[in-house]
Amino acid sequence: MKNLFALGAGLAALFAFAGAESFPSNFDEAGGWTSITGEFRVAPESKILEKTLGAPDFVKIRNLPQNDPNVALSRKVGQFIYLPEDQPNKSSVCSGSLVGPNLFLTNHHCIVGEGGGTIAIGNVYIAMEHVSEGEVGPRESLSGVRRVAASNENLDYALLELTVPLGERYGWLELERDPAAVTRERAVKIIQHPSGRSKEIVTNNTEVVKVSNPWLHYLADTEGGSSGSPVFAVNGEKIIALHHAGIKDKYNEGVVISFIANEIAAFLPVGAVASKTADQPAAQQPSAPAARAAEPPAKTAAADAPAKPAEQPASPAQDPAANGGWVAITGE
């Protein structure tokens, strides 16, 4: 599913820079870039790509105490923004995370165009500090994408090589490579950019429903724009799953990260740790041969999830069915 946001020509112009070192002339050095506002398309199928279950539980990262461990963890989570040249007023927005000095992990469906095929990677930008209204981030928090280093449609991941080694500034996340570790978790947390908003986290009502390899099912809220978010154990720092979808009226779904780690291990830094910080830079890792896509095990039948609070009815303006499949976003 493509999450298309109607942005207006102003934001498109801001992102229309030629390369890693060339930024827009109207970039505001003090205030950062403009916030993302507009609309996004939601999928009509029973398996939709994002889902809020019951009353939303999102919390703004900027509202957390600065000594909260999740604030430091969130610095390694960023926003994927695609601005198609043929639709300058629309953008596709996802989430993702740094997993190496110049590596960003997100969903495969985020790099697929509406008509199929890979989008123009040169029109993709990564923003690491979209945490406040009116600011997508300062110059040093942004990067273009050089190439898709590896991807797998079945496991719904895309590993992007960045033009700027943002990991040397923000650090990067470690992937949990033990599949058995996921089965011990009872709840998760997700750091994300739901509906393209500034960075948020969900830690309440996030119970794990089941593990059916390679899928992890949970009640944690997500929305359009959350695709590609890292899923953590509720008290953990390693990625245990890559969020990618929702099952209507049941739960949300991520890909158990060990299945992805097995395919991209050659690209990842040796001995990378989740606690890596900007004052401990590492050398940029050399490129490795593209990972070969592997078929995941067949999905098992979905089980009913534990109940969350009753879902609140959408207002007429926010009802996708009443608005041609589009719902407004706030850009906060």
| Across 53-57, 62-66, 84-88, least confident range | 53-57
Concatenating the DSSP letter of every residue in 102-131 gives TEEEE-GGGGB-TTSSB--GGGEEEES---
pLDDT given at position 264: 97
Q: Which helix (H) or strand (E) holds 264?
A: helix 257-264
Q: What does the pLDDT look like over 206-230, one tens digit per residue?
A: 999 999 999 999 999 999 899 999 9
Would you say 222 and 50 are in contact if contact means Cβ atoms under 8 Å apart? yes
Query: Is the model's pLDDT at 284 over the cut of 80?
Result: no
Determine the length of the chain.
332
Q: How far apart are CA 34 and CA 36, in angstroms?
A: 7
pLDDT given at position 55: 67
Per cent of the chain over pLDDT 70 is 64
pLDDT given at position 35: 35
Concatenating the DSSP letter of every residue in 273-331 gives -TT--TTS--PPPPP-PPPPP-PPPPPPPPPPPPP-SPPPPPPGGG-GGGGTTEEEE--
Q: Where are the domains of the chain?
A: 4-45+77-172+260-264
CB count in 10 Å sphere of residue 231? 31
| Across 104-108, 213-217, 302-306, least confident range | 302-306
Of 162 and 37, which is predicted with more confidence? Answer: 162
Q: Using pLDDT thresholds of 50, 70 and 90, give the confidence band for residue 53.
A: low
Q: How far apart are CA 244 and CA 50, in angstroms?
A: 7
**What number is the average pLDDT over the span 68-86?**
94
Q: Using pLDDT thresholds of 50, 70 and 90, give the confidence band for residue 23.
A: very low
4-45+77-172+260-264 under CATH 2.40.10.10, yes or no: yes
Of 52 and 213, which is predicted with more confidence? Answer: 213
Q: Using pLDDT thresholds of 50, 70 and 90, give the confidence band for residue 86.
A: confident
pTM of the model: 0.73
